[in-house]
Structure 1
Amino acid sequence: MKNIMQSIFLLSLGCSKNTVDSERLIRQAELNGLHFTDQADDADIIIINTCGFIADAKEESINEILAATEKRHNGEIKALFVMGCLSALYSRELRAELPEVDHFFGTSDLEEIISVLGGSYRPSNIHERTLLTPPHYAWLKIAEGCSRTCSFCAIPKMRGRYRSEPIERLEKEASLLLKNGVRELNIISQDITQYGWDFDERSHLNDLLKKLAAQEFSWIRLLYAYPLHFPLDVIDTMREHANICNYLDMPVQHISDRILKSMQRGIDKKGTIGLLESIRKKNPDIRLRTTMIVGYPGETDREFDELLEFVGQLRFDRLGCFPYSHEEHTSAFKHLEDDIPEKIKKERVEALMELQESIAAERNRELEGRVMKVLVDEVEGSIAYARTEYDAPEVDNDVLVDIGDNPVQPGDFCTVTIEESSAYELHGRVNDC
């Protein structure tokens, strides 16, 4: 298929890892002379990068595919491609149900996609990306796949076993991002803790972090760290380098020993609490983000109360909660019954998030009156939407800043006096930028 002179609309769904895949695809296509449009109605070709993690994400992906198949059926577009996690899991079923889709690709088929588009894959340029994020921040995906065996997760089925990127290549990719104006580098993978284990069965995360900290990023942030075997020397490095944010995203998922064992997390309640306490002891200024799953098969009222007590005691700075989703291609789906009613799952999510809201509101009140450094993401009139170093893009708190007539732009760092707060927002006035 020779499509060099045709326009492409790419819809990237799901997580930041998917975003990086899409950014690499766009750059490879652009190197071959292909043109992308921001509007599906202006496209000759539509590519949808799907998510297949949980039911809601699957539904969103399916709905977007169905909308695009209408365009293909009506002749409004010349080709429709579907790629990513949903496609990797269900390619056979999707092909049978959606003949309007011209090609289905998995999560590691970049070379094939470029070939079908009429171009030539350029491995020497794989570290180059066309950003879909605002230009002042970017994701750095340090590994692909996952070798953990969490009972609720199908990521290993979608993306294969864990494969770390060489440090030298990541340094080069980061250097290019810095050269192109990125000021905040967010380190991601399915599990950053495991980085380098496939090299020699030890974590190389701290080695990588030191290399990246030597570059002139203003902020470097760590996301998605698995608790088991987390290298505590990373926290020492965090304290030693001003440009590494005092922030760590560590999904804990639950605290009941029985549930943690059934989830196949490899760590128990005592180990989890000991790790979190060690992290905070090493860096008292750190802000911890986590995620929890409630309504896991067999979760009793007592086990849920144990989780509430744990969250109340540990007082996470940022917390997200998901109702358990019984997903195909997981060991929980094969061996456990999804026996918690949806109504109970919803009630437990609400109870946990109500507790977290009170914790977050109290933690934010402690910041009132402080002068803080923030990074501006967006400006609307006299209000700037910004973040502190304690807040990751897209998921954490905003700082709403009254900038008055000051010429503030996205990507600017400003100092702000915090005047008011709520559970998930800070309000302040700009001092200088």
Structure 2
Amino acid sequence: MTASILAGKTYTIRTFGCQMNLHDSERVSGLLDSLGAYEAAGPADADIVIFMTCCVREAADTRLYGQVSSCKSLPDPPSGRRVIAVGGCIAQRDGEGLLKNLDNVDVIFGTHSIAHVGDLIAQVFEAGGHAVRTNEREETDATSMPWHRATTYHAWVPIMTGCNNFCSYCIVPYVRGREKSRQTNQILDEVTGLVRKGVREITLLGQNVNSYGRDLFGEPRFADLLREVGATGIERISFTSSHPKDLLPETIDAMAEIPAVMPHLHLAVQSGSSRVLKRMNRHYTREDYLSLIRAVRERIPDIALTTDIIVGFPGETEEDFEETLTLAREARFAQAFTFIYSKRAGTPAAKIDDPTPREHILDRFNRLVSVIEDTAYAFNQGASGSTMPVLIEGTSKKDAMKLMGKSPWNQTVLCPLPDGANPVEYIGKMVDIAIDTTKTFYLSGELVGGPR
């Protein structure tokens, strides 16, 4: 019944937030494709508009409300009926409450219910009204769903869902649930299949990949998983996210010893102050973090270390912030995602009053950004004069005559497109680029040889 209702319908998906949301969107897209729907150019051409949401920061709520409301002004699609659906973390958190402020939403589905989105949308097309499903648990595993990947050369591979850490500022455990690891054989079968299809790079996904296997084996076995995935023949392996408290020596050894694992580690520090880290419920100190990255660099000297940092956590003093600045300089981050603290209802940190003036927090944020720009620039200088393998992802948004790709260290790399060449010949291929220009946010150089 669902397939007969959705066959021929068009859809578009807007995705906010983390890589797990991107993967969920690929699964929803694949499900709709399997039911006979097909992707539209954008909301104006779509019978179905889906918003896959993130609730980590307040800005995501604002963005969702604005974009959903803007759908009211769209002309009717050729079918005469448009269904608006909201899924993901905000849907799981707010459920039917979303309808109070977004009166044009028809379907709401939570993080555990994406396998049912086709049925929910079909129900609204057939009977009208609203369809809401935000179950805490589902029997249907989303990883068994078909998917529609954005590219043919890269794939997201979830190895676990949920989180057990309950950082005091974070809503994720409440909307994604507790940690649940996939069986190792399922992951390996998926990666092996991707290799056969020509995928060059995979990203292993989890809220805390370093905890992989704790619920299955009584202890983390992420290092073992890395070694087994590395034996499948996949060319490039990356992973996210890593919690410092669970990064074990055996995982560092695996990273150093497996050729396919990229020399890049995203290790969120959040603050350089042990006092603030304790209030964040992070379970490590400043000294622990610095000791950890020294151990990583001892085994992988050229590692690109990236991180997340929150500025303005409730009660952060100027002294606390200075400790964050000094840690950032000592850590020599290749990149950092910097955020001003955003209060999330339902988290312990939301109950903490903070009298710090907004202008002081903004000043700290700008000072941190300046330090990160300095360390990122310094890291990129190490590539000057080198020749590196780059996986081409497309062309530069600013210059269609320049190819754009990623280095093994996750740096953006640009190079001129050869005269008369078609960019399509290079997308998804590996090329060697001799680096002659190093900037804060990108590298550029000249092609050496052809694509492979």
Structure 1 length-normalised TM: 0.92
Match of 1:164 among 152, 175, 181: 181
1:306 counterpart residue number:
323
For 1:28-427, list aligned pairs within 5 A: 28-71=31-74, 77-118=81-122, 126=144, 128-132=146-150, 134-334=151-351, 336-379=352-395, 381-391=400-410, 397-405=411-419, 408-427=425-444
CA distance in 1, matches of 2:268, 2:30: 31
Does the 8 A contact of 1:9 with 1:40 survive in 2? Answer: yes
Q: CA deviation at 1:348?
A: 1.2
Shift in alpha-carbon separation, 1:360–1:78, aligned structure 2, 3 A: closer
CA distance in 2, matches of 1:427, 1:124: 40
Report the secondary structure of 2:444's partner residue.
Answer: strand
Does the 8 A contact of 2:154 with 2:199 survive in 1? Answer: yes
Q: CA deviation at 1:82?
A: 1.2
Does the 8 A contact of 2:214 with 2:220 survive in 1? Answer: yes
Question: Could you report, residue by residue, the CA deviation over 1:322-363 in whole angstroms, capped at 9, with x for unpaired residues?
Answer: 1111111211002x1143333222211211111111122122
CA distance in 2, matches of 1:278, 1:257: 19
CA distance in 2, matches of 1:127, 1:95: 28
Matched-pair identity in %: 26
Name stretches of at least 5 consecutive residues in structure 1 with no aligned partner: 392-396
Name stretches of at least 5 consecutive residues in structure 2 with no aligned partner: 124-138
1:394 counterpart residue number:
none
Q: Which segment is superposed worse, 238-247 or 151-160?
A: 238-247
Q: Which segment is superposed worse, 336-345 or 363-372?
A: 336-345
Question: Could you report, residue by residue, the CA deviation over 1:369-421 in whole angstroms, capped at 9, with x for unpaired residues?
Answer: 11111111113654111211001xxxxx3211124335651111111111111
CA distance in 2, matches of 1:179, 1:23: 19
Report the secondary structure of 1:348's partner residue.
Answer: helix
Report the secondary structure of 1:139's partner residue.
Answer: strand
CA distance in 2, matches of 1:200, 1:218: 28
Aligned residues: 425
Report the secondary structure of 2:279's partner residue.
Answer: helix
Question: Could you report, residue by residue, the CA deviation over 1:247-305 in whole angstroms, capped at 9, with x for unpaired residues?
Answer: 11111111211101000001112211111111111221221111111111111111111
CA distance in 1, matches of 2:71, 2:401: 39
Question: Within the alignment, does 1:10 sit opposite 2:28 as a pair?
Answer: no
Q: CA deviation at 1:116?
A: 2.2
Report the secondary structure of 1:244's partner residue.
Answer: coil
CA distance in 2, matches of 1:180, 1:129: 14
Q: CA deviation at 1:127?
A: 5.4
CA RMSD of aligned residues (A): 2.2
Question: Could you report, residue by residue, the CA deviation over 1:67-94 in whole angstroms, capped at 9, with x for unpaired residues?
Answer: 2244499996432211111111122331
Q: Which segment is superposed worse, 306-315 or 96-105?
A: 96-105
Q: CA deviation at 1:41?
A: 1.7
CA distance in 1, matches of 2:141, 2:323: 50
CA distance in 2, matches of 1:138, 1:342: 40
Q: Which segment is superposed worse, 59-68 or 91-100?
A: 91-100
Letter in 2 for 1:353: V
2:128 counterpart residue number:
none
Does the 8 A contact of 2:86 with 2:109 survive in 1? Answer: yes
Report the secondary structure of 1:253's partner residue.
Answer: coil
Does the 8 A contact of 1:4 with 1:117 survive in 2? Answer: no
Report the secondary structure of 1:340's partner residue.
Answer: coil
Q: Which segment is superposed worse, 46-55 or 336-345?
A: 336-345
Report the secondary structure of 1:275's partner residue.
Answer: helix
